[in-house]
């Protein structure tokens, strides 16, 4: 399948991608909610299972942040030149609006073209659990 997008339609194209991304976030949230209900309904859940569910919540937050950023970029992209200071400023504003610091740092690293691609070192489940735990009871 081939899709042709004129330069005037770039914002619309990006907006559609953002909407689909955010639709998937809603489906992820619903699925995690159902799994959480099943786990909680079976009694006191295992700590590792709770941490894993929290990882899903973190992914959901990151997808939402990326979808929102893409939506903001799509909304303004057709009204500014394709290159130059205005385009760079738009990108900076979109990235600055991302509230998840770790996601923002990863995005900024990916945007820097002169950095070599380096694979992230593996992180044990225990280390990941200790780094990013938001427990609410």
Taking the mean position of all CA atoms in its chain, how far away is CA 6? 27
In which residue are the tokens 């949230």 written?
A: 29
- Domain boundaries, given as residue ranges, for the chain: 9-112
Beta strands in the chain (DSSP E): none
> How does DSSP classify residue 103?
H
In whole angstroms, give the CA distance from residue 58 to residue 66. Answer: 12
Query: Which backbone phi and psi does 99 adopt, to 5 degrees?
Result: -90, -15
**pTM for the structure as a whole:** 0.63
CA distance 42 to 103: 34
List the one residue out of 63, 70, 71 whose CA is nearest residue 28: 63
Q: At what angle do helices 85-96 and 47-77 cross, to 10 degrees?
A: 150
Cβ distance 67 to 25 under 8 Å?
Answer: yes
Give pLDDT tens digits for 75-123: 888 778 777 788 778 888 888 888 888 888 888 887 776 545 545 567 6
The pLDDT assigned to 130 comes to 54
- Average pLDDT rounded to a whole number, residues 34-59: 85
121 burial level (CB within 10 Å; 0-12, 13-18, 19+)? exposed
Closest CA to 111 of 87, 100, 95, 98: 95
% of the chain residues with pLDDT over 70: 76
């Amino acid at each position: 399948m081939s899709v042709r997008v004129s330069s005037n339609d770039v914002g619309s194209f990006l907006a559609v991608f953002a909407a689909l991304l955010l639709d998937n976030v809603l489906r992820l949230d619903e699925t995690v909610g159902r799994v959480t209900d099943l786990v909680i309904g079976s009694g006191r859940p295992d700590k590792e299972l709770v941490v894993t569910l929290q990882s899903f919540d973190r992914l959901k937050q990151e997808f939402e942040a990326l979808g929102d950023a893409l939506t903001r970029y799509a909304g303004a992209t057709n009204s500014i030149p394709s290159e130059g200071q205005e385009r760079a400023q738009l990108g900076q504003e979109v990235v600055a609006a991302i509230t998840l610091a770790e996601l923002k740092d990863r995005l900024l690293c990916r945007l820097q073209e002169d950095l070599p691609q380096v694979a992230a070192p593996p992180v044990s489940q225990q280390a990941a659990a200790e780094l990013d735990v938001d427990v609410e009871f």
